[in-house]
Structure 1
Amino acid sequence: MQNYTLKNTFPYLSSYLLRFLSVQMIFRIHFVLGILLVFLFSSCSYQKELSIESEKGIIDLSDKIMDSEEVIILKGEWQFFWNKWILPKNIEEQKEFQYVLVPTSWNTYKDPKTGENYPSRGAATYRIQVKLPRNLRKNLAIKIPKIWSANKVFVNQKLIYEAGKMTTNAKEADDVFSGDLLMLEGENAELDIVVQVANPDFFIGGILENFKIGIYKNLLQTKEIKQTWSGIWLGLLFFIAVYHFALFLFRPKQKSTLYFGLLTFFLGVIHLIFADHYFYEYLHLHTSFDSSLQPRFYYGSFFLLFPTAILYLQSLYPREAKKFMFPVSGGLAALSLLFLLLPTYIFLQFIQYLQIVQMVIAILFGVIILGTAIYKKRDETLWQTLGIAFLLLTGIHDGLNTVGISLTSYFDLIQFGFGAFILLQMGILAKRFSRAFNRVEDLTINLEHKVAERTLEVNERNTELEQQSHILEEKNQHITDSIRYAARIQQSILGDKNGLEDLFLESFVLFKPRDIVSGDFYWFTKLIVNEKIHSIVVCADCTGHGVPGAFMTVMGNDLLTEIVINKQVTQPNEVLKLLDEKVEATFRNQNTRDGMDISIINYCHTTRTVKFAGAKNPLYLVEHGTIQEVKGSKHAIGGGKSNYKKRKEKSFETSTFILPPQTTLYMASDGFQDQFGKPKDGQSEIRKFMKKRFRELLLEISKLPISEQENTLNQILEDWKQTEKQTDDILVMGIYVG
C-alpha cells in the first residue's frame, strides 16, 4: 500500500525506489553466494610437504633433521610385482619385479617382457621403504588415499588397513572408494610399506593418489580442515540448488533457474559420493552401507548432468538450440541409467565408453548452441562459454591425471572448474533479472515522458505504469520470500525453540532475529553420562547478523553437534576449547576476526549440579530474591588470523554450583541490552537499554511464572524500542529449577 501512495505523490521517486529494491535484492543474494564461493576456493590448509622422491623403492631420510610439521610424500619409484599378492614376510624372496612411478595408474606401466602396457584389470603388490630421521620417529601416522578398488596395507609386516574384498573374480568384487588416517604404533626407525591391490572390474587400477607420513596431529588437522571445507562446499552447492528451485517456484516461466538448480544438485551428489566427508566415513564405519551403490549414485548423477545442461542452454538460447538435441542426450542418459541396473562387474565394463560418448555429444551440442549464439551476438554468450570451458578443461585435466598423464602438480582441479562455472552462471542469471528490470525502468521513463507530452493518453499510460509497479512489487516479494525460505532452513537446523521444554518443563526462549535470518543461535541436548541425566544448553552470539551471521550459526551448530553428541565431550570448558580450536582452524588462513560469544551449562538432573563456562557471555542466577552474575572468560570463540598466535593465552574455566530449590537461570546475547529506545519517564533522549537495566529486569520478571516471562520481556522490549529499529539479533533463555 505504501508503494502506491508514493507513486501517486512522487511518480519518479516511486518507480526508482521499486526498481532499486527489486534489483538490489536479487544481486545481494547472488553477490553473497559468489563471495562465499570465492572465499571457499581461496581457502586451503597449510601443509609442509617434503619434496624428496623415492629411488629404487627407498626414501632415505636417516641423516636429515625434519621439522615436526613436515609431511613425507611417498612418491617416486616403488617396487612393483604384477599379478601377485605377496605377503611382506615373503617379499625379499621375489626376484621378478620392476620399479614404477607412484602415484599413477598401472595402465601406464609397461611389461618388461612384452613391452606392452598392463591391462586395467588385474592384481599387484607395491612396496616402498622409508628410513626416518632420528627426530621424527614417534607419534607418526600414515594417510592412506582412496585407491578406488579393494586393497590391503601392511606396515613392518603388520596388516593395518583393509578395504573391500581381495579377488580377481569380477562377480565377487567389492570395491571401496575411501581412504583412512591411521596412527603407527611405537617408535619406528624404518617403515616397510607393502600395498596389495585388487582390481577385477574397474577401468583404471593402481595407486592414483599419494600416501603420506607425518605427525598424527598435523595430518589429522589437515584432514579435518579439508573435510570441513569439503562439507561447506557441499552445503553451498545444495543451498544454491534449493535457492534456484525456490526462484523457479516463484517464477515458473524462468525455467533456466530450475535447470541450473538441477545442475548444481547433481554436482553436489557427485561431490557427496567421492569427496572427503565425515558423512561418507560414518557410512563405512558405522553402518552396513552397500559400497556397490556408490558408483551407481555417482554415474547416475553424471549421466543426468548432460541432458540437464542441454535443457539449460536451450532455456537461455531457445532460437539457437535444435529440437533433436535434448531427445538425443536424454535418450543416451536413459540408456546409461539402464546399464546401472546391471550387476556392478558388468556395467563397469561399459561405463567408460558411455561417459565418453555422452561427453562428446554434449560438447558438440554445446558448441553448436554457443557458437551460433556468439555468431548472432546473443547476450552473455562469452560468460557462458568461459564457464563451460573452465569446467571442461579441469575435467580433462583430472581425467588425464588419473591415467598417468600429469599436466600439473595438482590432482583435483575439477572443483575449481565447478566453482568458476557456477559463479559465471549465477552472474548470467542475475544479469538477466537485471536486464528485465532495466526494461521495466525504460518503459516507466518513456511512459512518464509521454504523460507529460501527450495529455490525451494520461489515463491509459498511468494504468500501464501501475501494472508495471505491481509486477515489480511481486518480484520484490518473491525475493523476500527466498530470504524467508533461508530462515526456515536455518530454523530447521536449529530446531524448535520449544524443544527446551522437553529438557526443562519450566523454561522459555525469546528469539528475535533482526534481519529474518539470525546471527544468534541456541542449542541444547540431553545425554546420559555415568547413568545420570545431563542437559546441555548453549546460548551463542555469532559475528555479524543477517546472511553472514546465519552461515556462522550453521557452522556453530554443526561443530557443537560434533563435539558434544559425536565426541561425547560434556565439560563446558572443554567444549569451548574444542569449539575455539575448530573455528580458529577454519579461518586460520583468512584475514578475518569471525567468531562467537557463547555461554554453556551442563545441568545434572540427578544431583542438581550445574556447570557453567562462558566466552564473554555470563550466566545469571536468581535465587531468594537476589541475582548473581557468573562471568565467563574474557576471550571469545575464534578471533581470526590476527589473534591466532595468542591461542595459548586463551583459557575457559568451569564454574560449578549445586542449585537450591526455586532457582532461575538466564542466558542471553547482548542484543537486548544494546537495543536503542526511550524510557517511559518522559525523557526524549534515545539511549541503550544497558546491561545494568537488563539485569534488574531479569530479577523483576523472575517473580512471575516462567510461562509469562517470555511475553513480558517481549512487551518491555517493544515499549522500549517505540519507533526505533531493532539494533541486533536478540536471544534470551530462561530455565526455572524447582
Structure 2
Amino acid sequence: MFLKINYILLLLSIFCGSVSAKNANSPTNISVDVDYYVDEKHEVDISSIELTKFHNHTDDVLNFGNNKATIWCRFKLEDFRQNQVLHLKTALIENAELYIPVGKIDFDTKEAGYKKSFSSLEYQIPNIYFNIPDNFNPNRYFYLKIDATYLQFWTYVGTSSNYLEYIYRTSIADGIYYGIIIIMMLYNLIIYLTARDKNYLYYVLYVLATGLMVAHFQGHDAHLWGELKFIADRGPIWPAIGGFFSVLFAYNFLKIKSSFPIFNKVFYFLFALWGGSIISVLLGFNLVSSLMNQTSGLLCIITFTYTSIQLMSKGMKSAKLFLLAWGFYMTASVYFVLCGANIFEYTLLTDYAWQIGSTLEMLTLSFAVGQKINDLKKDKENLLLDQNKILEFKVNERTEELKSSNEELNTMIEQVYEQHSIIKKKNSDLNASISYAKRIQNSMLPTADDINKHVKDHFVIYNPKDVVSGDIYWFTHFKGMNFIAAIDCTGHGVPGAFVSMMAVNIIREVITLKYLSDPADILEAMNKEVETILNQESSKSREGMDMSICMWADGGVKLHYAGAKNPLYIARDNGIIDVIPGNKRAIGGEFGIRKKGDPFITHEVEITDDIKSFYIMSDGIQDQFGGPNDKKFTRKRLQNVIKMSAHHRLTNQKTILEKELKNWQGEQHQIDDQLLIGFLP
C-alpha cells in the first residue's frame, strides 16, 4: 500500500512537470543570443572586457562542463517592457557578477551565487535572479562574470509576473519530492528501530544523502545553510556523500562480502574514491572533488550494473530489483544529459529528471529492502520447520536410547550410591582421625600457665592452615634453665604434623637426656637426629625444619639464641627493632652440596631494662598475601607493627597483631601455618 501511494505521488509530480515551459506567459530563453569568452588566466576585468573578442553561441543551453576558468558572457536586452528579470537557470554557479550598462560608459553591478550570503540575494529562491533596472542602455552590452566548477545553464529574461506561475509549479513538484524523501526516511527508520536490520539504516542514510544531493542541484540547500559559509562554499560535498552512501548500501544490500567476494576490493576502491572526494572538498578543492564525483559516478554505474547481472545469474532475487532501481536512476541521468545537448527538447520534465529518477529508484529499493526482509523471514521459517522435524526425529531416537539404557543407568546409580556411602564413611573416619591427631598435637603444646611461671609476660599467635599444623612451639624448664622454640616444619597439614611430632620428641631428648643447653649445640644435634631418623643420606628426602630457639637461666641477665633460617626480634623502648638473623641453613635435608653449611652460632643478648620484648616466629605471617594490591605481608611490615605496639603489654600486642593480620588478609585464603611468639624473661 505504501509503495502504491508513493507511485501515485510520483505520477502527480510527473504530470505537474510535463507542462511545456514554452507558453505565452513564459520567460524568453535568450541563450542563443549570448556571446561568451573563456578567461583561462582570470586576468580580465570589466575595464578591459569590451576590448576582448567574444565567441558566438547558437544553442539553447550554455554548456562549459567541468571548468576552472572565469566565463564572461555578453548580451543585449530590449527596453520595451519594464521590471525585467534575468534568470540563470542553474544552482551550481559559485559566483556571478552582472554588469548593467548605464549611460554611455558606466555599469551598475549586482552579485549572486551559492557562495554569497543567502540573505543578501535579491531573490532568496533557487537559481540566480537579477532585477534589471528600467534605466539601462539598450544599445550597450550586459556582461556576466561567472565562476563555477561545473557550468551548464540557460539564460532567460522575463518579468516577475512571468516567473510566478513557473515558481508555483516547481514549488508544488519540489514539495511532493521532498515529502516523499521524508516519508521514506521516517518509514524505513521506524522499521530499522523495530527490526534492527542494518540494511534499513543504510537505506535511510542513502535516501537522506540523495535528498541533500538533489537539493544542492536545485539550489534548495541554501535554505538550510545559506548563511554557513564553510558548508555553502563546498557544494560538491553532497554528491560525494550521496555516492559514498550509495556504495555502502549496495555493498550490504547485495552482500558483496559473501555473495561476490572477488569484487570486495572494487567496492573498497569506490569507498576510497568517494572518501577522497569528500576530503578534497573539505580542503577547498571543489574542482578536484567535482571531477572525482563524475569519475566515481561512472565507475559506480559500471560496477553496480555488472555486479547485479552476475548476482542475478546466481539466483539472487534482490539483485533484479536493485538493477531495476539503478536503471531508473541511470535513465534519468542520461535523459538530463541529452536534453542539455539539445537532442531532446528541454521541458519541465527535464528540470525534474533527477527527482523522478531518484524517486523511482528509492521506491524500488524500498520495495526491494522490504522484499528481502520477507524472504529472510520465509527462509528462517522454513529453516525452523526443517530443524523442528530433525529435532523431533532425534528426540524420538534419543527417547528409545534412553529407554533401553534406563535399567543400566539405574544399576549404575545404585553402584554410585553404594560407593558414595563407602567414601562418606571413609571420609568420616579420616576426619575423625585427623581431629584425634589434632588433640594429640595440641596436647604436646606447652600451656600458657607453664610458660607464665617462668616469664614476665608472653603471647602466642598460632594459626594452623589446616586441622593439624606443620608449625609447633615448645617450652620447657629444666635444671634452672628455660628453653623456648618456634619450629616451622616442612609442609603443613598431616605431613607437616608428623614432622612436628618428631621435632618435639627430638628437642626434648636432646635437652633432657643429652643435657645440651647451648642453642647452637641443640640445633646441630637436632640436625643429626633428623638425618638419622629419616635416613636422608640414602633416601635423599628433604624433610626438615626451620626454627629459632632461646635459652636463659633463672635469674640470669643474658638470653642465648640460635636460629636455623629464622631470626630473633628485640623491641627496645627507643622504638628500635633489633634483628638477629639465624644461620642460612635448615635442620635436616642436608646432603651433597647442601651439607657444607656453616656451623650454627649462639648469640648472647643482655637482658637490659630498655628491652620491651623478644619475638621468634615462622615465615607464615610474613608470606601471607593480602592488602589492596594482593602482595605479601613481608618482614618489614611485621617489624613495623611490632614497633608500633611495643609499648603495650604483650597480651594487648597480640590483639593488635591479630587485627592487623586479619585486615591485611581480608578475603584471601591462608597460604601457610602461622606462628609468632612474643615473650619477656
TM-score for the superposition, normalised by structure 2: 0.46
Q: Please tell me whether Structure 1 or Structure 2 has the larger radius of gyration of its CA atoms.
A: 2
TM-score for the superposition, normalised by structure 1: 0.43
